Amino acid sequence: MANSKYEYVKSFEVDDEVVLPNLIVVQIDGRHFQRFSEIHEFERPNDEKALNLMNSCAVSVLEEYPDLLFSYGYSDEYSFVFKKTTKFYQRRASKILSLIVSFFASVYVTKWNHFFPQKELKYPPSFRGRIIPCATVDVLQQYLAWRQHDCHVTNQFNTCLWMLVRSGKTEAEAREILMGTQKQEKNELLFHKFGINYKNLPEMFRQGSCVFKTKVADIVKHGENGTPVKRLRKKAKIIHSENIAGRRFWNEHSSFLEELGGFMDEVSKIKPEYLRSFLKSEKLMPCTWIVVRIDGCHFHRFSDVHEFEKPNDERALSLMNSCAVAILQEFEDVIFSYGVSDEYSFVLKRDCSFYQRQASDIVSVIVSFFTSSYVMKWKVFFPQKELKYPPSFDGRAVCYPSTEILRDYLSWRQVDCHINNQYNTCFWMLVKSGKSKSEAQRTLKGTQAREKNELLAQDFGIDYNNLPIIFRQGSSVFRKHLDENENRASGDKLQTNVIVEHCNIIEQSFWNAHPFVLG
């Protein structure tokens, strides 16, 4: 990020490192997935294809991030466990959480057609996530026992519920019948009324899925005589175990013992209240502007692999803008956003109570929805170009106490847009003219804005100020009140439309012209 007089706003970013010796668990679960499953007509109480899609996403996450040791999931929830000594992004909670939930969402959309080839994905899925620091391996053991117990209880209830509904009861009547019933009573209801032995239901439904890495012999090549040459490689494996928090299961996997430590005892009683005390809660300060800034992860490589135009690919920028529009259409608490290159900043209204202002929920939902939208909209902007691998974004939430400081933040980002675009325009023109990248860097080292403009004009006949404004000033996305200049009857609701503009948001004139943006 470029230097400017607005850089002081960085001081509002707080450190969120998960300190050692805490073990890091990332828990994600689907946002409004009951509605999602209804719209996409999932089987009740369990859709095996939907569960296999979730499992496949978990496999991809483990294969993408070497520091992840294993994961456990059921329904629309998954928990990912990092090895004890991980320094993944220096253990910054927001970075870790946003990358995992973003990549998971990206893979979910990418793999949808493989599991549901006859079913259209009707809107972008999104996931809530949180970091759970486990002070000891015993806390992790309690956590895993808690989640697997929840899997069993939830599945047993839902199996009874949907069998009753299929038998002719309304959902309300079924819930009333089940109210207060114990485990044995539910089992008897299933057996006597529907002929179902609960223990004979698929293990994946009753026990959930555990994904972990194991060493397997892979054929890497063949010798001259045709003999296969094998190497041991780590690959993700899915199993359905009755007790993932038990010592027997744990001791069967040496990597768990090496990277996390061993369990001293079996879990005798699950204590959800005790575990909830470890949930990392970061409620953002009230009456402050919340900004969620997201950035593409390794987008230099992503742009190279997908052959984006340099220094700017207008289709790629339009795709980013379209995703930002989708965010404002989905979340009414997001009132303004500003984007450049592979970065976007989303401003939430000052008095919002979005997810009770929990930073992890806000960041994970926005990042995952943006990522899902990016993958779903790819073909609209790149109809002839295959998406070669799932993109991901990281994000963080920062509070700004006044409108003046918020505007300085946005000014900082727009100044950064100009400085970086001017440099990149010069750099890529030099490269296209025959210079190597290192030669181009040496040519530009220490040059000022005026000198860069002169280089472009004299060597390449380019007037920097005539380049497309989207490149020079970035993109602002906000709601425009369709009747803001008309007289309205008292109490009438303003009609709005989300628009994208490329304008100077540093000057007061923009805010004068759009007084409703920040209220």
pLDDT tens profile 151-165: 999 999 999 999 999
CA–CA distances in Å: residue 358 to residues 125, 157, 286, 372? 20, 30, 11, 21
Do the Cβ atoms of 209 and 55 come closer than 8 Å? yes
CA atoms within 13 A of residue 339's CA, in its CB half-sphere: 27
pLDDT of residue 109: 98
3-state SS assignment for residue 29: strand
Do the Cβ atoms of 360 and 133 come closer than 8 Å? no
CA atoms within 13 A of residue 491's CA, in its CB half-sphere: 0
Predicted structure pTM score: 0.93
Is the pLDDT reported for residue 253 higher than 90? no
pLDDT of residue 468: 95
pLDDT band at 286 (very low <50, low <70, confident <90, very high): very high
Query: Which residue in 203, 127, 166 sits closest to 45, CA to CA?
Result: 166
For residue range 33-77, what is the model confidence (pLDDT) as tens digits? 999 999 999 999 999 999 999 999 999 999 999 999 999 999 999
The rounded mean pLDDT for the chain is 92
CA–CA distances in Å: residue 442 to residues 406, 436, 451? 36, 10, 14
CA–CA distances in Å: residue 216 to residues 133, 228, 413, 463, 503? 31, 14, 47, 58, 55
For residue range 324-367, what is the model confidence (pLDDT) as tens digits? 999 999 999 999 999 999 999 999 999 999 999 999 999 999 99
Q: What are phi and psi of 473, to 5 degrees?
A: -120, 0
**Whole-number Å distance between alpha carbons of 110 and 90:** 29
**Whole-number Å distance between alpha carbons of 333 and 260:** 40
Share of the chain above pLDDT 90, in %: 81
pLDDT of residue 495: 66
Q: How many CB atoms within 10 Å of residue 441?
A: 14
The total number of residues shown for the chain amounts to 519
pLDDT of residue 269: 81
Tokens of 454: 């002169």
Do the Cβ atoms of 171 and 197 come closer than 8 Å? no
3-state SS assignment for residue 370: helix
pLDDT of residue 229: 67
Mean pLDDT of 8-36: 93
